[in-house]
Amino acid sequence: MKCAVLGDPIGHSLSPALHQAAYAELEMSDWSYTSTRVQAGGLAKYVADLGGDWPPSKWRGLSVTMPLKREAFELARSVSPRARLVGAVNTLVRSSHGWVGDNTDLPGAVAAVRERAGDGFSCSHGAVLGAGATAASTGLALAELGASRITLLARNPGAAGETIEMISRHRSKPVVSVLPLDSAVDGVDAVVSTVPAKALTPELIDRWAPTPVVFDVVYDPWPSPLLSVAPGVAVSGLDLLVHQAVLQFELFTSRPAPLEAMRAAGEKALGIAELSPA
Characterize the bridge pairing of strands 98-102 and 78-79: parallel
pLDDT per residue as tens digits for the range 85-112: 999 999 999 998 899 999 999 999 999 9
pLDDT of amino acid 277: 43
Beta-bridged to residue 180, according to DSSP, are 154
pLDDT tens per residue, the chain (278 residues)?
A: 999 999 999 998 999 999 999 999 999 999 999 999 999 999 999 999 998 777 666 899 999 999 999 999 999 999 999 999 999 999 999 998 899 999 999 999 999 999 999 999 999 999 999 998 899 999 999 999 999 999 999 999 999 999 999 999 999 999 999 999 999 999 999 999 999 999 999 999 999 999 999 999 998 888 899 999 999 999 999 999 999 999 999 999 999 999 999 999 999 999 875 544 44
* Position 198, amino acid: K
What number of other Cβ atoms are within 10 A of residue 235's Cβ? 25
- Position 169 scores a pLDDT of 94
As a 3-state breakdown, the chain gives helix, strand, coil percent values, each rounded to 5, of: 40, 20, 40
Q: What's residue 273's pLDDT?
A: 58
pTM: 0.93
Give the pLDDT of residue 275.
Answer: 46
SS3 track for 199-268: HCCHHHHHHHCCCCEEEECCCCCCCCCCHHHCCCEEECHHHHHHHHHHHHHHHHHCCCCCHHHHHHHHHH
Give the integer Cα–Cα distance in Å for 263 and 245.
Answer: 10
69 catalytic per annotation:
yes
Helix (H, G, I), strand (E, B) or coil at 145: coil
The pLDDT of residue 31: 97
Which amino acid is residue 77, in one-letter code? Answer: R
Residue closest to 153 by CA, chosen among 188, 122, 112, 113: 188
What SS3 class is residue 26?
coil
Question: pLDDT tens digits for 29-58?
Answer: 999 999 999 999 999 999 999 987 776 668
Task: Name residue 3's amino acid.
Answer: C
pLDDT at position 72, please?
A: 97
Q: For 189, how many CA atoms within 13 A lie in the half-sphere containing its CB?
A: 16
Catalytic residue among 2, 45, 58, 69: 69
Per-residue pLDDT at 220? 82
What span, in angstroms and rounded, lies between the C-alpha atoms of 242 and 127?
A: 23
Cβ distance 152 to 131 under 8 Å? yes
Q: Element (H or E) spanning 48, and its range?
A: helix 43-49
CB contact set of 173 (below 8 Å; sequence gap of 6+):
none
Separation CA 233–CA 176 (nearest Å): 24
* Residue 135: closest CA among 157, 118, 116: 157
